[in-house]
Chain A
């Protein structure tokens, strides 16, 4: 089976700092993969390289077997790589409806029908539990609802790879349980790459975990293997057994 995403020798320097250092990474279709690591380990830089928000200093990125290293971000989104932002960046002055209509209207193939946009928007809002708030300006939604709206916008892109950058940050515990269900639901049709600090969420959701440290991949494996990995405990959890 062709991996959905492969990076080969991917690096990115910021001045003298090597934020991502020679990373070889493979992601199979249908996986939920968690990326963890201490602050500054290069996780967000890595997914920014994959989504095309920043350009690599060297190395290559392959999506579904094709080299996408030189493609601008919007073309990668059209090929099926959706990125939800770590810092919530919904369109605060537009209604929740319009926020989701933006990705929906672009992915529609039939062109002009207003009914199709409405159906697509409402389906994404219903999946995230926001249908009742469709006409509220996004900036007036609670923080947790804004995070969900961000996910709804990602969903509406009908992605093959959905990158979630710290999606549960700032959510209440009750909201996190719903969120875990939502990600499981999304994973039925898409591959999920999840950057997350909340360990219970990672352990419940991930099929496999990749651990970053100082711009490199420190370890990779099943949640159980990562939990028992001494190097990971040393570098990341900071507690020697």
Chain B
């Protein structure tokens, strides 16, 4: 895995990024906006995949990390009047601190208990947002006003509400996180994470402190999800409590399962596929969720490892 064909892997990832860049000039307006959103949410899925795919820890609470980034950035810009870069950093910081605390507590458990503990913490986070409605806007959420969403460096200013700027900002974040994931997976740290997933007891007996490694993975995962949330707030201007609800803990799990757990490009493929199926089916029927459900069942039956996971298993063993 980590020794074979690095050139092919880098070429594939850079090719995917180049394709997304070119698509910016070809797509009609509606799909252009949708793809920008998908790229930001794919970052969320990549953060989830880090923990679920590589370490094998199934969390049902990742909406709180997305929410930490979303509200960290949103509150900083709306309530405190911070600039865009400062607000983004605040979002990242909230995600990092929250994931460190949650990791220290939740990693005492494994398996089903870990799912329940993370879900409970996420519910606490969600209910706290509703409780402190005076600042967070409660279930109404908050809109980030357009004048605040301008990035200025020296003389030039970039309006994040401009579709092209928004698309390119989403692409920049997506590319950065994708290449970071590729580097992590191919690193020694990545090898240890996979070893923990495969057999934690054995990994300990090779002299690894598995708790610290898992904690580091939770923090990296949570911070990536927070980056996605912070970018969502700044690029799309809406900070809402529904993004911290249980639904947004389950969605990244679905995206990752669809695209292929423990594949670097799987989260993008899964997110894209899910949005595409919803988009197509909702054009024909109001019962589109029924068709989405059938599509998911068929996929699990015939591609149990997800789209890219099955491709790797059957044809392209070198896929990272």
Do A and B interact with each other, yes or no?
yes
Residues of chain A touching chain B, judged by Cβ–Cβ distance below 8 Å, are 51, 53, 72-74, 77-78, 82-83, 85, 89-95, 97-98, 101-103, 105-107, 117-118, 135, 153, 157
In the bound complex, what is the Cα–Cα distance between A129 and B209 (angstroms)? 30
Closest CB of chain A to B69's CB: distance in Å?
A: 31
A117: nearest chain-B partner, CB-CB = B188
| B83 interface residue (CB < 8 Å to A) | no
Closest CB of chain A to B312's CB: distance in Å?
A: 12
A-B contact pairs, 5 of them (CB 8 A): A72-B204, A74-B204, A74-B205, A105-B191, A106-B208
Contact A101 B199 (CB under 8 A): no
In the bound complex, residues from chain B placing their C-beta under 8 Å from that of A85 are 202, 205
In the bound complex, residues from chain A placing their C-beta under 8 Å from that of B209 are 74
In the bound complex, residues from chain B placing their C-beta under 8 Å from that of A153 are 206
In the bound complex, residues from chain B placing their C-beta under 8 Å from that of A94 are 1, 194-195, 198
Contact A91 B195 (CB under 8 A): yes
In the bound complex, what is the Cα–Cα distance between A97 and B2 (angstroms)? 10
Contact B4 A135 (CB under 8 A): yes
A101: nearest chain-B partner, CB-CB = B191
Contact A102 B192 (CB under 8 A): yes
Contact A74 B210 (CB under 8 A): yes
Contact A78 B207 (CB under 8 A): yes
In the bound complex, residues from chain B placing their C-beta under 8 Å from that of A101 are 2, 191
As a 0/1 sequence over residues 1 to 22 of chain B, the CB contacts with chain A under 8 angstroms (1 = contact) are 1111000000000000000000
Closest CB of chain A to B188's CB: distance in Å?
A: 5
In the bound complex, residues from chain A placing their C-beta under 8 Å from that of B279 are none
| B310 interface residue (CB < 8 Å to A) | no
15 further A-B pairs in the complex, CB-CB below 8 A; given A83-B205, A95-B1 = A72-B204, A74-B205, A74-B208, A74-B210, A77-B206, A77-B207, A91-B202, A94-B198, A98-B1, A101-B191, A102-B203, A105-B188, A106-B206, A106-B207, A135-B4
